[in-house]
Amino acid sequence: MDTDRITAAVFSSDNKITEKILSDLNKIEFISDIILVSDIGSDYKNIIISDYPFSAETVRKIIDAVSTKYLIAIFGNKRVEINNDSFKKFIDII
């Protein structure tokens, strides 16, 4: 298990915002994997399609896909500022 890296699960509800979040996450060195959870199909490489994103079945699929010690859930309905420094602080605190 990768102990200094983070898997991000992005719950998509607004494609435009989600695309920006995915782009920002791909620039962060501490993020090793990104899982997109959506109710519609996508050409994104690591996607879980579910009409019920917070169901036990979907959460189990996310947990099974995680290969890191940490998982961060990001809800893609609002813009969030994500950068290397914030993730470094998160890892340093833990």
Q: What is the pTM of this model?
A: 0.85
Q: In one letter, which amino acid is 43?
A: D
Residue 3: band (very low, low, confident or very high) from pLDDT cuts 50, 70, 90: low
Q: How confident is the model at residue 94 (pLDDT cuts 50, 70, 90)?
A: low
Three-class SS state of 85:
helix
CB half-sphere exposure, 77, CA atoms < 13 A: 3
Q: What is the pLDDT of residue 92?
A: 78
Listed in sequence order, the DSSP H helices in 38-83 are 56-65
Q: Which amino acid is at 14?
A: D
Q: Which domains can be identified in the chain, with CATH numbers?
A: 2-93 (3.90.550.10)
**pLDDT tens digits, 7-55:** 999 998 778 888 889 999 999 998 999 999 998 877 778 899 999 999 9
Cα 37 to Cα 41, 50, 85, distances in angstroms:
10, 7, 25
The whole-number pLDDT of residue 8 equals 94
